[in-house]
Amino acid sequence: MRTVFSYLLPYKVAAGVAFILMLLELAVELLQPLLLAKIIDDGIMQEDLATVLTWGAVMVGLSLLAFGAGVLNSFYAGHAGQSTGFDLRNAMFRKIQRSSLGNLQPFATSSLMTRLTNDVTQIQNTIFMGLRIMARAPLLVVGGSIMALVVNWRLALFLLITVPLLVFFLLWVLKKGVHIFGKVQQNVDEVNHVVRENLTGLRLIRVFVRERFEIGRFVDKSGTLMKNTRSAFRLMELTMPVLLFLMNASILAVLWFGSISVQEGGAEIGEVVAIVNYATRITSALGVFAMIIMVFSRARASALRIEEVLLGTDDELVGSQGLPAEKTISGDLAFADVSFSYEEKTAPVLEHISFQAKRGETIAVIGETGAGKSSLFQLIPKLYTPTSGVIRMDGVNIQDTNVQTLRKQIGYVPQAVRLFSGTIRENIAWGVPEASDAAVEEAARTAQIHGMIEALPEGYATLVGQQGVNLSGGQKQRISIARALLRNPKVLLLDDSTSALDTKTEGRFLSALETYSCTTLIVTQKLSTALRADSILLLEHGKMVGMGSHEELLATSPLYKKLYESQYGKEA
């Protein structure tokens, strides 16, 4: 929790002011029973109206002072809590953006969303409640006990026996609560995961008539969340009856022995009233402890989850300053005995890959599904780090290369096209926001999408629907290709990004692509596309089983011959 709450330090002045104002409220609250005792003993019992009015006016004035302090305390506590939440949320988002994908692998997308929203909200609410109420309750218990001793130590002994017992009980509840609320937050993750899967796959669910099954999944996860939340609240609710029983027993003891002491002359009526008043305030403060335990338990569970992201992920932009930011690469790419696994102690998805792609060459990467083609592509822009071996760009190990320098000169079109909210132009210029309209249109022409865009009523200003719902698969692919080409990359990675294009459109695109002086690697399932490449790289089960021209592979590779015959027939 120390890391999370360190984000409160920039707002320590606001937090300090809020704490001082809370102490002022507390002081007034602790003084009021003393003043009440004075009014009873010196005013009412002595039938002195002037004393009653004087000290009554003092009590009213102090109450107004406490009211003003409370209003200001809420303002400063809110400022400290909301500002800390803002900084914490930004720090987490920045960490996620800058962390390597390998380090983000253990976190589901839904879990990261919960940590960025629900968990951060728990922290900022805890800070507010801590400065407004939570810190006040234990101080009121301690201060009330001390003031009761000052008034009459004999009667106050009943409180001193009861309060420590309750404190130990509350600490036990706190320990149990942290564990249970940790499970609750995990259940929130699971519910969000199901919701996210269903919202993104809504069309598929309806086509396959799986609504009932998915509803059942959601009800199951939601039911587990309800069950654990109910258990947590049941534990929290247990505290209140125990608190009230013990504290009311103490008050009865004070009243009983207080009345005896008054009759014997060992105490004044006002002292008994004051101690009962303090006992009542301590009871209300201990009652707040149930809420404090619940809030703190959830905050601690949330803080641990947030720290998993802040401390458990690296920053891939730090320490990779091998090349200056203005360094230009030529595009000579080489893999030397590269192997890769997504997680430790799992089977490698790539094993001992070695090949070279010279500047300006086009390499087609083919292989059956699961051969490791996409994984190979993700190693080049340093999205993941090889388990062993070396990848070199212009003879330099890319691990010694500034990651931003490298990526700014790579055009990458992923297999799963991703479009963002905004216009078509904004999506094409997403990687180069300062690009001119002429450059955007040129990239669109090369990607064979310019004519379609121009035919739209609003042209390049047409808004892209959610997930590109108003565009076809081929249109989305071509917009994604135009986005990569606009960067004028030195290395272009096309991960099966022409699969939705018809043969003629794909042919025109590949012909237009020849005008770009970049090294191109293209994953494809179409041998017609592979035949246009300078060389073909053949993968099988994560291993490179061949590389060469079409004629060479056809003569030497049974797998390539099988793929060729499956598309062109044995007669070919």
Distance between alpha carbon 173 and the CA centroid of its chain, in Å?
28
Final residue belonging to a domain, choices 272, 291, 312 = 312
**Same domain, yes or no, for 15 and 80?**
yes
- pLDDT over 70 at 324, yes or no: no
- pLDDT over 80 at 128, yes or no: yes
**Same domain, yes or no, for 141 and 237?**
yes
Residue 560 is assigned to a structural domain of this protein:
yes
Residue 527 is assigned to a structural domain of this protein:
yes
Final residue belonging to a domain, choices 312, 344, 375 = 312
- Of 186-195, 387-396, 424-433, give the lowest mean pLDDT range: 186-195
**Same domain, yes or no, for 113 and 212?**
yes
**Same domain, yes or no, for 226 and 154?**
yes
Hey, CA dihedral for 529, 534, 540, 543, is it positive or negative?
negative
Distance between alpha carbon 304 and the CA centroid of its chain, in Å?
12
Per-residue model confidence as pLDDT tens digits over 479-521: 999 999 998 899 999 998 888 788 888 888 888 888 888 999 9
**Same domain, yes or no, for 11 and 92?**
yes
Residue 130 is assigned to a structural domain of this protein:
yes
Final residue belonging to a domain, choices 312, 345, 368 = 312
CATH no. for residue 89?
1.20.1560.10
**Same domain, yes or no, for 417 and 294?**
no
Cβ atoms 181, 296 nearer than 8 A: no
Sheet containing 491-495: order of strands: 396-397, 388-393, 333-340, 350-357, 543-548, 535-540, 362-367, 519-523, 491-495, 410-413
Residue 96 is assigned to a structural domain of this protein:
yes
Calpha distance 57→68 (Å, rounded): 17
**Same domain, yes or no, for 233 and 129?**
yes
- Report how far apart, in Å, the C-alpha atoms of 523 and of each of 349, 382, 498, 554 are: 16, 18, 9, 19
Per-residue model confidence as pLDDT tens digits over 258-271: 777 777 776 777 77
**Same domain, yes or no, for 83 and 185?**
yes
Identify the CA nearest to 132 among candidates 64, 78, 85, 82: 78
Split into its structural domains, the chain has a count of: 2
Q: Which residues contact 496 (CB under 8 A, 6 or more apart)?
A: 373, 374, 415, 523, 524, 525
The region, left, alpha or beta by phi > 0 then psi within -120 to 50, assigned to residue 418 is beta
Residue 180 is assigned to a structural domain of this protein:
yes
**Same domain, yes or no, for 366 and 464?**
yes
- pLDDT over 60 at 322, yes or no: no
Mean pLDDT of the chain: 83
- pLDDT over 60 at 465, yes or no: yes
Identify the CA nearest to 350 among candidates 547, 544, 542: 542
**Same domain, yes or no, for 303 and 374?**
no
**Same domain, yes or no, for 370 and 270?**
no
Residue 411 is assigned to a structural domain of this protein:
yes
Residue-level pLDDT at 365: 93
Residue 330 is assigned to a structural domain of this protein:
no
Cβ atoms 71, 21 nearer than 8 A: no
CA 108-113-119 angle, 5° bins: 115
Calpha distance 112→93 (Å, rounded): 9
Cβ atoms 348, 387 nearer than 8 A: yes
- Of 242-246, 264-268, 402-406, give the lowest mean pLDDT range: 264-268
Per-residue model confidence as pLDDT tens digits over 52-110: 888 888 888 988 998 999 899 999 999 999 999 999 999 989 888 888 777 787 787 77
**Same domain, yes or no, for 146 and 26?**
yes
Cβ atoms 356, 527 nearer than 8 A: no
Place of tokens 């090349």: 323
pLDDT band, residue 529 (cuts 50/70/90): confident
Residue 339 is assigned to a structural domain of this protein:
no
Question: Residue 369 belongs to what domain range?
Answer: 360-386+404-568
pLDDT, average across residues 443-461:
90
CATH no. for residue 564?
3.40.50.300
- pLDDT over 70 at 290, yes or no: no
Which carries the bigger pLDDT value, residue 274 or residue 223?
223
Which carries the bigger pLDDT value, residue 344 or residue 113?
113
Residue-level pLDDT at 323: 46
pLDDT, average across residues 207-234:
85
